[in-house]
Amino acid sequence: MTQAIDDWAYGVTRVAVMTGAGISTDSGIPDYRGPNGVWTRDPAAAEVFTYPNFMADPAVRRRFWQRYLNHAAWQAEPNAAHRALAELERSGSSVRILTQNIDGLHQLAGSTPRKVLELHGSMRTVVCTGCGERTPTGQTLARVAEGEHDPSCPSCGSILKLGLVMFGEHLDATVLGQAKRVAAVSQLLLVVGSSLLVEPAASLCAVAADAGARLVIVNRDPTPYDHLAVDVIREPIGVAVPRIAAALGKVNEAGL
């Protein structure tokens, strides 16, 4: 199902963009469920990202920190899709990013940080599970690199974890509530590179559609929400998103 962009871009000035791991693969960060995804190549890796396991077992925490010590995201740069969305915001459109990603590439591309809602948290911050203190991830990774395999909070001695949402944890209720409000008032919800298999984030599609927004999905594989979409685009994200952003920017400039 592919329509001309003009058919659904007409009159759109309020855009919500929900992004998943697929938008960052062109930056060298593997997705999770694709042919070369993290879970596809190593199904057991999910155990390391499960909150009860992480909290109960120092060996799991050691494996977790080693995974992030040299994670591809630390060297990654925003790609054409990230940059196109930032440029769309600069063109004058009202753009809000609802991202399932933890890599921070939207902000690095130039999207206004307060307009980026990180539904699953961020890998760029470490949080203490005891006192709640937040610190830059680099400080903790430096300790890991020096041989401290299970670093604890320097303030209270409790377990440290990345500021991301693990399996077995709930999404931040405030962030999720904001995302639902954004989806409900948008004219267009553009979903990019998400399998839409992870709830409750995926349900934002239904929130937007029920409120009358146009839903457009850009993803390589079918999703559970394709039937609600006015358009489903299978072409590569690095091609599709700049083309869509350019079309929406022209609509805004023309006041259509």
- Which parts are annotated binding residues? 128, 131, 153, 156
Q: Which of 6-15, 32-41, 222-231 is predicted least confidently?
A: 32-41
- Which parts are annotated binding residues for Zn(2+)? 128, 131, 153, 156
Which tokens sit at 187? 């004219």
Per-residue pLDDT, 231:
97
What confidence tier does 35 reach under pLDDT thresholds 50, 70, 90?
low
Residues 246-253: what's their mean pLDDT?
Answer: 78
Q: CB neighbours of 88 closer than 8 A, spacing ≥ 6?
A: 15, 95, 245, 248, 249
Contact 24, 103 (CB under 8 A): yes
Based on the residue annotation, tell me whether 120 is a catalytic residue of this protein. yes
Q: Which amino acid is at 228?
A: L
Handedness of CA 204, 126, 66, 59 (dihedral sign): negative
Residues 235-239: what's their mean pLDDT?
Answer: 97
Contact 17, 188 (CB under 8 A): no
- Answer whether the bond into residue 78 is a cis peptide, omega within 30°: no
Which tokens sit at 249? 């920017």
**Is CATH 3.30.1360.170 correct for 1-29+78-120+166-256?**
no
Which alpha helices (DSSP H) does 27-136 contain, by range?
38-41, 51-56, 58-69, 80-90, 105-109
CB 76: neighbour CB atoms within 10 A? 18
Contact 91, 153 (CB under 8 A): no
Per-residue pLDDT, 256:
47
pLDDT digits (tens, 9 = 90+) for 93-137: 999 999 999 999 999 999 999 999 999 999 999 999 999 999 999
pLDDT digits (tens, 9 = 90+) for 51-93: 999 999 999 999 999 999 989 999 999 999 999 999 999 999 9
Domain borders along the chain are 1-29+78-120+166-256
Write down the catalytic residue from 71, 82, 120, 170: 120
Contact 248, 90 (CB under 8 A): no
